[in-house]
């Protein structure tokens, strides 16, 4: 099918051409005069705030919305309709009306590019197109040390790291669709592969954690933030700082004696925050360490709703907290934890899980069981930004593309139709799934059956993975045969 673009939609031409080309359609050349019965005309009326309206009448497709990425969502929904309902000869007779609203200011995905599965630039751009088709306006690239820091040549060496030019290329591409890319790095823990080099040994507390308070460490972090700040338009940066379980208990302990670990964390964050200000960057961090250090057990999720943080050092202003939770299926739990986060920071983002890290196959059942109540709680409790994380634990055993169902389910749940938030059957609509990915919702759900077997519990909540342990066991020894006897 060939389309014409009204002047009102001129600034989305490049993005539309890319989306249409991969589906065998095209845009007519500017100034071309063709009857609408042969080429539908695309118009964009920039109005409203979070609303998207799609109208097809007499061969004119009008999309009303404010954000560029919402235009692409509306257009792709119309394209799916035209592909299944409209023949070219009947175009003038076809009518479509669609109205929905974005439930969140920002919604998107975090792609893990650090666990021996560093996505090629072309694959990142493919995800950008898919996110545009779903109306997602936020992408985070999780790069522990898989990006270039010129002052430290061993940082990310032999790990498939991105050059600044490659990251800029991705950012330019995302801009065509109105998608913000926020760099997600690590400035405390999860740096084992960077710190293993002899040239980095003086920077370590433990093999995985930077030595807080050391001037050389902050020179390294300065170089990190300088590098990513020059690669992206976004003035936001995710600093990581999660799961630093042994903070202050390694070389820091030998050097300084035992210190209050909450104060170590806070002091380190303040120094990193000053570096962010130097480069005009607005930071966010994973929130778990502030909860773990408050918890008697060191757990992230066991603090009661009435927990008081006033006895702790004041959390620095200007830092957003990212509340990550992939493990609960009760809305009340999420509501309680959102309220706890707001006691620490007035900026809270939520990160749910795509559950593609179960083993060799995705755990869609637990994905849906955890994401849906979480998003409902976020919508009703003033969390305006949400992301879905696509971790590649254990060497990227599950292909990230196996998370397409998770991506679509999450995205559809971030938009509401006229009668309120879509129910679970509507989220990840089967027809749109097939249009985007080549197979319908039911076909994708078959992957869930690898691990969601009898005995796995409701929705495979404990992430059992027989497809993995049966594949890897020696069939002659049968290490797990007794475990699966029934």
For the chain, domains (ranges, CATH) are: 2-102 (3.30.160.230), 106-469 (3.20.20.80)
The yes-or-no verdict on residue 420 having pLDDT over 50 is: no
| Structure confidence by residue, pLDDT tens digits, 324-336 | 999 999 999 999 9
Please compute the mean of the pLDDT values over residues 349-359 and round it to a whole number.
97
Q: Is 437 a residue whose pLDDT tops 80?
A: yes
Confidence of residue 38 (pLDDT cuts 50, 70, 90): low
pLDDT at position 419: 42
- Residue 485: pLDDT band (50, 70, 90) is confident
Model confidence band, residue 33 (pLDDT cutoffs 50, 70, 90): low
Over the chain, what is the mean pLDDT? Answer: 92
Measured between alpha carbons, how far is 407 from 401 in angstroms, rounded to an integer?
Answer: 9
Q: 327: closest CA among 459, 445, 186? A: 459
pLDDT surpassing 70 at residue 90: no
pLDDT of residue 32: 62
Q: For the segment 147-181, what is each residue's pLDDT rounded down to a tens digit?
A: 999 999 999 999 999 999 999 999 999 999 999 99
Percent of the chain with pLDDT over 70: 93
**250-271 per-position pLDDT tens digit:** 999 999 999 999 999 999 999 9
Give 91 or 315, the one with higher predicted confidence.
315
Residue 169's pLDDT is 98
- The arithmetic mean of pLDDT across residues 287-296, rounded, is 94
Kindly state the average pLDDT of the residues 303-314: 91
pLDDT for position 34: 60
- Examine the pLDDT at 388 and tell me if it is beyond 70: yes
Question: Lowest-confidence range among 96-100, 108-112, 215-219, 274-278?
Answer: 96-100
Residue 1 has pLDDT above 90, yes or no: no
- Top pLDDT among 94 and 372 is at 372
Q: What does the pLDDT average to over 106-122?
A: 95
To the question of pTM greater than 0.85 for the whole model, the response is: yes
């Amino acid at each position: 099918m060939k389309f014409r673009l009204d002047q009102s939609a001129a600034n989305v031409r490049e993005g539309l051409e890319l989306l249409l080309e991969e589906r065998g359609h095209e845009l007519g050349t500017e100034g071309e005069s063709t009857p609408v019965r042969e080429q539908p005309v695309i118009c964009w009326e920039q109005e409203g705030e979070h609303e998207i309206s799609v109208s097809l009448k007499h061969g004119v497709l009008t999309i009303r919305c404010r954000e560029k990425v919402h235009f692409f969502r509306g257009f792709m929904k119309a394209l799916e309709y035209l592909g299944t309902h409209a023949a070219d000869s009947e175009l003038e007779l076809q009518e479509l009306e669609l109205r929905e609203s974005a439930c969140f200011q920002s919604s998107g995905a975090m792609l893990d590019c650090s666990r021996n599965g560093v996505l090629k630039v072309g694959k990142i751009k493919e995800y950008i197109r898919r996110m545009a088709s779903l109306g997602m306006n936020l992408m985070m690239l999780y790069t522990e040390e898989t990006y270039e820091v010129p002052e430290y040549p061993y940082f990310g060496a032999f790990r498939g790291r991105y050059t600044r030019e490659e990251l800029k290329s991705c950012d330019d591409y995302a801009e065509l669709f109105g998608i913000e890319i926020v760099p997600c790095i690590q400035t405390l823990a999860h740096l084992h592969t960077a710190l293993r080099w002899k040239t980095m040994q003086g920077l370590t507390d433990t093999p995985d954690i930077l030595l807080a308070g050391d001037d050389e460490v902050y020179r390294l972090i300065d170089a990190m933030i300088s590098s990513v700040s020059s690669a992206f338009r976004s003035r936001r940066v995710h600093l990581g700082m999660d799961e630093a379980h042994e903070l202050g208990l390694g070389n820091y302990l030998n050097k300084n004696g035992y210190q209050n670990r909450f104060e170590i964390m806070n002091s380190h964050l303040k120094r990193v925050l000053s570096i962010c200000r130097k480069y005009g960057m607005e930071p966010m961090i994973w929130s778990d360490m502030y909860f773990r250090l408050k918890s008697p057990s060191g757990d992230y999720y066991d603090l009661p709703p009435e927990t008081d943080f006033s006895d702790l050092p004041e959390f620095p202003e200007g830092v957003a907290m990212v509340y990550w939770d992939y493990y609960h299926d009760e809305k009340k739990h999420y509501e309680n934890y959102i309220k706890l986060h707001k006691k620490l920071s007035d900026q809270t983002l939520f990160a749910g899980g795509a559950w593609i890290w179960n083993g060799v196959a995705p755990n869609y059942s637990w994905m849906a069981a955890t994401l849906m109540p979480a998003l409902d709680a976020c919508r009703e409790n003033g969390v305006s930004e949400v992301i879905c994380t696509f971790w590649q634990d254990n060497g990227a055993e599950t292909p990230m593309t196996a998370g397409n169902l998770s991506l679509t389910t999450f995205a559809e749940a971030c938009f509401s139709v006229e009668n309120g938030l879509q129910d679970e059957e509507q989220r990840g609509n089967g027809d749109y799934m097939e249009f985007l990915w080549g197979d319908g919702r039911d076909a994708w759900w078959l992957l869930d059956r690898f691990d969601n077997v009898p005995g796995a519990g409701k929705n495979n909540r404990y992430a059992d993975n027989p497809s993995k342990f049966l594949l890897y066991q020696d069939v002659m020894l049968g290490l797990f045969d007794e475990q699966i006897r029934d």
